[in-house]
Structure 1
Amino acid sequence: MRDKNQTIGNLIDKQSTALISSVDADGFPNTKAMLPPRKREGIKTFYFTTNASSMRASQYRINPKACIYFCDKRFFRGVMLKGTMEVLEDNVSKEMIWQEGDSMYYPKGVTDPDYCVLRFTAESGRFYSNFKSETFTVQ
């Protein structure tokens, strides 16, 4: 792959769904479809919104190991990123990715105590395209 960051970034930006995975108390993976990240910094850092009271946020607080996956169904290619997920509840993080219309989910606005930010930091990944997979380290 010539420019991994650009190729993977373009794939991610075109998807309407992200799959995120956490680890439950019994050590099993739990995967959930989410809206795409609100913000990304290269292919290293991603920001998602969720409820602070959610099962996923609770699991990440206990075990931050995480995985996110983006799939381009049209061309049957995808990227898995492994790393850690942090649950951020500070106002700076919440304001950074707040969007108009979010009050539909968080009626108390950006300071709603049930609104939080998930920040994923990738360490490594695996890209699949054209019947080949490539493992890589995220810088």
Structure 2
Amino acid sequence: MINVEKTIGNLIDKQSVSFISSVDCMGFPNTKAMLPPRKREGIKTFYFTTNTSSMRVGQYKDNENACIYFCDKRFFRGVMLRGIMEVMEDEASRQMIWRNGDTMYYPQGVNDPDYCVLKFTAVDGRYYSNFHSEVFNIGESFKTTIS
């Protein structure tokens, strides 16, 4: 038995790419590669930066259902988390994950109207390792283990 939060958290922290998925107006999934989350709280809440004007932001505003995926290609293991994605445009959220150098993407700084935060909140997930996958729930009392 392994500790899900620790094992998955370690996998996530070592990845240089994350994948986020949204649902388009036709009900089809749309996936794109992103930089890793700027911040995470356990394996329940993740924060990403993106452009307010992006297609993905529009999709999340229309349908908050989402998933994120992290893959360790070296050991052929990965985790998919399902949940909701919120588009955060408030100053506190922007300040929370702003980094020096972000003006390369957002020239007007932390208050650039084309800068927003995507906040993902997971409800469940699926972990794959050693030719086996396991579904797990994420809740307030997170005690799940994977065998």
Fold shared, TM-score > 0.5 on shorter chain: yes
User: 4+ runs of 1 displaced by more than 6 Å?
Assistant: none
Partner of 1:76: 76
For 1:99 and 1:2, the matched residues in 2 are separated by: 34
Partner of 1:128: 128
| Structure 2 unpaired stretches of 5+ | 140-147
Kindly report which structure 2 residues correspond to 1:1-139, keeping only aligned pairs within 5 A, or say none.
1-139=1-139
For 1:85 and 1:11, the matched residues in 2 are separated by: 21
For 1:4 and 1:128, the matched residues in 2 are separated by: 12
| 1:9-60 deviation digits (Å, cap 9, x = unpaired) | 0000000000000000000000000000000000000000000010000000
SS in 2 for 1:32: strand
For 2:29 and 2:126, the matched residues in 1 are separated by: 18
| Structure 1 unpaired stretches of 5+ | none
Structure 2-normalised TM-score?
Answer: 0.94
Q: Percent identity among equivalent residues?
A: 73
Structure 1-normalised TM-score?
Answer: 0.99
The Cα of 1:70 is off from its aligned counterpart by 0.1
For 2:25 and 2:133, the matched residues in 1 are separated by: 31
The Cα of 1:2 is off from its aligned counterpart by 1.6
Give the length in aligned residue pairs: 139
Aligned-residue Cα RMSD (Å) equals: 0.5
The Cα of 1:127 is off from its aligned counterpart by 0.1
